[in-house]
Structure 1
Amino acid sequence: MTTSVGNPGSTTAEYKRSPSHFTDRITADGADGWPVEAGRYRLVVSRACPWASRALVVRRLLGLEDAISLAVTDPLQDERSWRFTLDPDGRDPVLGIAFLGEAYAAREPGYDGGISVPAIVDVPSGVLVTNDYPRITLDLATEWTALHRDGAPDLYPEPLRDEIDEVMEDVYRNLNNGVYLAGFAKSERAYERAYRNLFACWDRLSERLAGRRYLVGDTITEADVRLFTTLVRFDAVYHNHFKCNRNKLTEDPVLWAYARDLFQTPGFGDTVDFDHIKRHYYQVHTDINPTQIVPLGPDPSGWLTPHHREELGGRPFGDGTPPGPPPAAEEIPARGRADAGSGA
């Protein structure tokens, strides 16, 4: 998610997402100059951002908390970029910076492009390594294997990669990014096109998941992670704020049960902060919500209700095991958890 105050995108009627500018990779062989190394890198995220949330989930599932440290930004950014105002003295305690943009400037002096999360920063130099969100999670799954926890799942199994990639492309084009195409559209025609493509994809996914527990194979894969981070924001934000209002997630029996199944799986729901999510979208996108009023609902406690998806079989972690509880410092504050109620 790129820093923006107001309605981001181009001046054309259709919203255009900017590609990642810094695409170096951290690999086992260090081919791009960035070798996998425990403790060297810091993952910077906003819990509000669906793209950053992918990295949060994957890091938890693979047990990489001790290998790559975590910095969480304030959900409200300003024109200077994502801020570390949640930390003492308004600075990240490891990187020593007040704004993520400082790491971007250290990488490329004079850089004036978007400042996006997730981002990985080299701690010794303070230089940004990558903001390539689609690649970050795939590399955590495939290049960081020497540092995975015992029992870590294979989120990108080689025999299924073609199918996973195909499903993820449909999900990205029409749903992950589709909600933004609808929400930031500047003409009725652009909005309606995005809306129709979004819900056509929605219906394909609902049909696909009616008889199978997960999107590809019988275990959780990267495809499920990428779909989850959009679905968990849908009723709280996208349905109303982005006008994706044909139906709510809670009104689709298949996708609602699927999303609850994942939410209740260790590594998913324990990374979700509904407070950060709502405050970011409703208070930062002032072109869409000029009053900056944050709705109290919907009541998130429904995420904890029985889903019965286990009746479809499947093995969430394959031959592996669930991750343990999150580190105490990374627990979601009470006001952002699903057991916090609607705030009414």
Structure 2
Amino acid sequence: HTPTLVKPFSGTYVQRMATEITSTNHPKSIWTWNRTKRGRKVTLYVPYLKAIEKQPGDRWLFRFNGGEFAVNLKDVETILLYGATASLPCEFLDQARKHTIPIIIHRRNMAIPSIFLPGFGCDQDDILTKQILFREDEKKRAYMARTLLRERFRSMERTIPIPARTYRELAQTRNTTAIRLIEARTTKRYWKEWRKQIGASDVGRREDDPLNEALDACSVFASSIVLRWCLYHRLSISHGYLHERTSYPALVYDLIEPYRIWIEDAVAAAFSEVAEPEKDLIPASIEALKKSLEAQIYCHVTRQYCTRAALLHGVVLALRAYLRGDMKRFVVPVEGE
């Protein structure tokens, strides 16, 4: 089953919740509506949270910069708090765990977001053991890293030419350290040309800059969707294949690589429209990314039409199928004819 970003639903509690949220929606707030396998839920993105207060029954009141709204956590799938300064009540955290809701906290200049993970039950397929064993097998690990990076490079070709020798070098490399060196060399060229094409100053990707902050915020936005599906399918988010360290969600950053072009396109589009990037670029970029995720595209791998957001679930399913042995190859679902 693949998630679809849709408009508020009708005839259910979710519709009433959607109406309430929409009526108090601050222009800079961030929302994504999902349909999940178990039912209809909302993935909640709250900007500049000020307070969370308990309401009668199972409802919670969120006060944020621009308004407030009440929600029942059983109807929530994931929560991202951007720029939050409020305290989180222990009872709220307990309820979030009860409903297996991941909570992600991110703010400007925060390199790695804070992630509160719910407890999950048993997995009869023991996919976690297979994930670790594949990671320890350098040949398989390099194969998966090459597969993800190849799709990333293909998306870059709209901005820079990538010579055939780079693809040959990538295909022949059997060491993940060497693969990351190929990535670093190529992405350095890419970021320089990307900034030049959108008319931005030549600033390093890791430096303090409104464009970099918007790229980071959009990355957290998209990564939170992948993170939710990794947890749902009982994968360890800390054990990646291209990204080595286990001190951050390495697997999530692995799986988002083929789709980073959506983030860059959204930020580039927003940059061309806003008058004050320091103030308005992040919300404008998120809004552009939301629209991009909702767009209908054709996936030639599965030969079907779907939303872009569905591919963020599809890549997790593809990884799981490969780890289980249901597929002999790791096939990344991407858009295109």
TM-score (norm 1): 0.28
* Structure (1 or 2) with the greater strand fraction: 2
* Larger of the two Rg values belongs to structure: 2
Structure with greater contact order relative to length (CA < 8 Å, sep ≥ 6): 1
* Structure (1 or 2) with the greater helix fraction: 2
TM-score (norm 2): 0.28
